[in-house]
Amino acid sequence: MEVEGAVNAQLEKQGYALGRKGVWGGPQKTRYYRPDGIMVEAIPCMRERQDGLVYDWNISGKGWSLRPPLKPKPHCEGCGDWHDTKAQVLACKRERARKQVQWEAEMAERRNQKGSDKEKALKAKNEDLEARLKKLEELVSGKAV
Ligand SMILES: [Zn+2]
């Protein structure tokens, strides 16, 4: 890691700085740290609140910070966020899996419901047709009117 640090320092001195100094004229990037401690180079995402306060969405929205976190948090592939403990990550993933299964069951039920609604409509249509056919037969045979 020390070698990597020295190489980075050398590159930085030469102006490469992982694109931070805008050697190629691009927007200036800032070094952030994700809650799990992984370093990210990104362009600050400045936004303005209605009251005029300007803030960086990378920090207030994404939860990144300018300094490495003292206590890195585990990243959760389930929700894409960070939780305080690995147990919470597991719980989050389990909860999401449970919700997914529940949602799929609901969808399947809804499909079945739709199927039976269609069946009911067809049956009603069929009964209506039968009634009209009966009336027609009566008319033809001269029983009615
Ligand atoms: Zn999660």
- pLDDT at position 17 over 50: no
Give kind and range of the element (H or E) at residue 107: helix 86-141
pLDDT of residue 6: 63
pLDDT, greater one: 99 or 144: 99
- pLDDT at position 127 over 70: yes
pLDDT of residue 1: 46
How much distance in Å is there from the Cα of 135 to the middle of ligand 1?
A: 66
- 28 vs 43: CA distance, rounded Å: 6
Instruction: Report residues near ion ligand 1: CB below 5 Å.
Output: 76, 78-79, 92
Nearest alpha carbon to residue 43 among 31, 35, 60: 31
How much distance in Å is there from the Cα of 101 to the middle of ligand 1?
A: 17
pLDDT-derived band at 3 (thresholds 50, 70, 90) equals low
How much distance in Å is there from the Cα of 102 to the middle of ligand 1?
A: 18
Residues 6+ apart with CB under 8 A from 49: 55
Q: What is the pLDDT of residues 92-119, one digit of tens each?
A: 999 999 999 999 999 999 988 888 888 8
How much distance in Å is there from the Cα of 100 to the middle of ligand 1?
A: 14
Residues 6+ apart with CB under 8 A from 48: 54, 55
How much distance in Å is there from the Cα of 78 to the middle of ligand 1?
A: 5
Q: What is the pLDDT of residues 18-77, one digit of tens each?
A: 444 445 566 789 999 999 999 999 999 999 999 999 999 999 998 899 999 999 999 999
Q: How far, rounded to the nearest angstrom, does the alpha carbon of residue 31 sit from its chain's CA centroid?
A: 25
How much distance in Å is there from the Cα of 92 to the middle of ligand 1?
A: 5
How much distance in Å is there from the Cα of 35 to the middle of ligand 1?
A: 13
